[in-house]
Amino acid sequence: MAEIQQSGDSGKGGKKRAKKMSTKIDMTPMVDLAFLLLTFFMLTTTFSKPTVMEVAMPVKPKPGEEQPPIKASNALTLLLGENNKLYYYDGLLDGTTKPELKLSNYGADGIRKVLLQHKSNPQLVVLIKPDDKAAYKNMVDILDEMNITETKKYALVDISKPDQELIKSSGL
């Protein structure tokens, strides 16, 4: 606590001088309180936990068992391009027909609307094909959109040469 120390008379006679007073503040209780508060807040604070999205990996097929092919009417192909571009088309790219390539964005008014429009098809399979120059953030955004729209069937597939040529020839 705070205390005031008074110095006594010097023993000389004569004039009475004003007594010198010095102040001394004991800082020990304040330091104790600071450490108690620090300890309290450290123990009661919840640290932020990283959020992770669970991705279900496919089951390895048994020997001799083949996966049934995807019908073009049940497929939606997303092409992740460079410079944060997102292209999509309905169906699969076969050598006979050239699909109509459309440009979208990663926001709620872009690809989310497209995915929700295709939600009426219970057999829908979304093929996600990232380009080598696509940003990793875009890949995470697409996986988030799959989770938000509750699209159960989707696959990460390597982009093919015809897909890359389709992007170049589209002019989008």
CB 126 within 8 A of CB 146: yes
**Reduced to 3 states, what is the DSSP secondary structure of residue 125?**
strand
CB 80 within 8 A of CB 128: yes
Under CATH, which number does the domain 72-170 receive?
Answer: 3.30.420
Q: What are the pLDDT tens digits along the chain (172 aa)?
A: 556 655 555 555 567 777 777 788 888 899 999 999 999 998 888 877 777 777 767 677 788 777 777 787 888 999 998 888 899 988 888 767 788 888 888 888 888 998 898 888 888 899 999 998 889 999 989 998 988 888 888 888 888 888 888 888 877 7
* Residues 91/73, Cβ–Cβ less than 8 Å: yes
